[in-house]
Amino acid sequence: MGWALDMENKNTSANKVAIVTGSATGIGYETAIHLARNGFYTYATMRNTEKAEDINEIASRKNLPLSIMQLDVTDVVSIDAAIDAVIKQSGRIDVLVNNAGYGLFGSIEDMSLQELKAQYETNVFGLFRVTQSVLPHMRKQHSGTIINISSLAGRVGLPLSSAYVSTKFALEGLSESMAYELRPFGIKVVVIEPGAIKTRFRSERPAYVTTSPYLNMTQSTLQVLEGMVSQGIPPKEVAQVVISAINNPEPKLRYVVGKDAEEIIEASKILPEQELFQTISQTILKG
């Protein structure tokens, strides 16, 4: 376990405390840094702490109240150990940002059930496990904010992203239901829905066979999506929205981030289904 600051010499219990999963890069990295800059004692968690060099360096250089902690969202032992350590060291948890996740790209026919299950283990069950471990402490405080990082793909289906999209749809429903359950205990739930992000977001693809009927579609669509990502917004814009939601005494349930996400989600509300289908097909599938 690597520490950016000397824990023994910092009275963290006097500060608000935040936990961010998947903090090695991208949205998680920027959110952890922004939380620390805004006065939260922040635990930047990740599965592999060897990837913490960048965030550890900036935290040390800027003297930010931030620590690196190992947490694998697919391992309940790792989760409970991390949450127990936070409570022992800081005495409370005010914010949980469920960010850890990755995208599985490809047709549903080309992927294996094992690949699909792995996608859910991280993107859905990982969020479920970490939230369950944190909730008793937030209930005891009668306060807390849970931020779930969703996506444009949590509101609109996208081609060749069936696995990823379905995990984000699941996250949306889970979050909306949680909001009802947790509000009586003083706990707020917020969903962040970014569009394309310039980030080293972990993306995996099923092993394709050259005879796949989806091969040409997959190759051309991947090129389009990579172009969209190259033009995406920086992760810090998502982090800024996260901070704004946390600081709002009455936050909205959902925050859309990025012009592309705003336009597509708005179109999904007003366009007939067939017209929306054609628009997305022409944009991404080029046909």
- Which residues are the active-site residues? 164
CB atoms within 10 A of CB 186: 13
Rounded to the nearest 10°, the torsion over CA 24, 29, 31, 36 is 100
